[in-house]
Chain A
Amino acid sequence: MMRTEWRDHGWQLIHTTPQSPSLHMALDDVLVHEVGAEHRPPTLRIWEWASPAVVIGRFQSLRNEVDMEAAQRHGIEVVRRISGGGAMFIEPGNTITYSICAPLSLIKGLSFQQAYAYMDEWVIEALATLGIKAWYQPLNDITSEGGKIAGAAQAHRGGAVLHHVTMAYDIDAVKMLDVLRIGREKLSDKGTTSAAKRVDPLRSQTGLPREAVIERMIDTFRQRHGLTDDVLRPDELARGEALAGERFSSEAWLADVP
């Protein structure tokens, strides 16, 4: 396998109407396999959320991470994603989430640390054009002088890499800490944790509406790497919906690591 560059690929953009948390989990799974099988070109998918969610990492313990009773009380759906990393607290309009599905050739020869930073160079540039000096904080954070902006996670599936990122646009920290369990050990290294890390959201940093930040990100990706507007194929959506129902909203998957 030869290393490829961004411009070697015909990047597609999917940015559609709000979808449920479990469908988002499923679409990541479907699209990374479609890209790996060369059934679809490499794709940038911008997520719109239909409802609030806690998204836990592939290897996180459900009961150690989430107060299910509090989640229920707040009407928050708890889902497990296919990538590792930490729990994310999502409210529609408060986060900007995207997935990149790319052939493994794009990150061939890179260390994990390099691959994370490489997949988000365009975001660092987009933030710079909005006046935010941001940089990659290994292992998997985008941060700024004001605080953490985003967390990334990658998973390798079927010959492709899924790289997805949740950025804080705005945040209800009180509700977040009500639902997520934050342990002491997690605080020992950097004095902060993925969830409670001093987050400085994009709303206060840019003063721009969320949609304007997304538009700038899309423009930046388009200029750097090329980007064609696309939609989910009906069969992709159908498989996503089936997987969302059968797997990603099942108790077995959610509690796979109890």
Chain B
Amino acid sequence: MHGEYKMPGGKLVVVDLEVRDGRLAGVQVSGDFFLEPDSALDAINRALEGQPQDADEAALAAAVQRGLGSDVMMYGLSAQAIAIAVRRAVDGDAA
């Protein structure tokens, strides 16, 4: 499953994932955003792994936020933008 979201004034966030037993699996976030340190991408993927398939945007954004250390810096990207791309992937609205 594949979802994309272009954050207004920001960059493109892409999410590829599967749903297994009602939960997100094999989550891979990608895009042309900026993220420091670069290891934060793995932390974001891990934070989304296992989330309920019906988790709403707010719950997904909160999960991403919790998974990130306070030293992480995003440019052209936000936890909410990632959450929107996840919802689009799950809902089949690749846009």
Contact = CB atoms under 8 A, between A and B. Distances in A.
Contacts of B12: 183, 185-186
Given A188-B6, A258-B28, A84 B16 contact: no
Contacts of A84: 32-35, 38, 75-76
B5 A139 contact: no
Interface in B39-95: 41, 73, 75-76, 94-95
B36 A61 contact: no
Chain A contact patch, size range = 20 to 34
Interface in A153-189: 153-156, 183-186, 188-189
Interface in B14-33: 14, 16, 28-33
Contact of A156 (B5, B36, B41): B36
A60 interface: yes
A99 interface: no
Interface in A24-75: 57-61, 64
A74 B40 CA distance: 34
A101 B73 CA distance: 19
25 contacts: A59-B35, A59-B38, A60-B30, A60-B32, A64-B14, A64-B16, A64-B30, A83-B34, A84-B35, A84-B75, A85-B34, A112-B34, A113-B75, A138-B9, A139-B9, A139-B10, A140-B34, A140-B76, A153-B34, A154-B34, A185-B4, A185-B6, A186-B4, A189-B7, A189-B8
B17 to A, nearest CB: 12
A244 B29 CA distance: 26
Given A155-B36, A186-B12, A139 B30 contact: no
A93 interface: no
B75 A112 contact: yes
Chain B contact patch, size range = 20 to 34
Contacts of B9: 138-139, 189
Contact of A61 (B8, B16, B37): B16
Interface string A80-106: 001111110000000000000000000
B10 to A, nearest CB: 7
Interface in A206-258: 257-258
A205 interface: no
A85 B36 CA distance: 12
Nearest to B7: A189
A155 B37 CA distance: 8
Contact of B30 (A59, A83, A184, A189): A59
Contacts of A20: none
Contacts of A185: 4-6, 12, 94-95
B95 A139 contact: no
A85 B33 CA distance: 5
A147 B10 CA distance: 19
Nearest to B12: A186
Contacts of A85: 11, 32, 34
Given A139-B76, A186-B6, A60 B31 contact: yes
A64 to B, nearest CB: 6
Contacts of A138: 9
Contacts of B4: 183-186
A60 B4 CA distance: 12
A57 B29 CA distance: 13
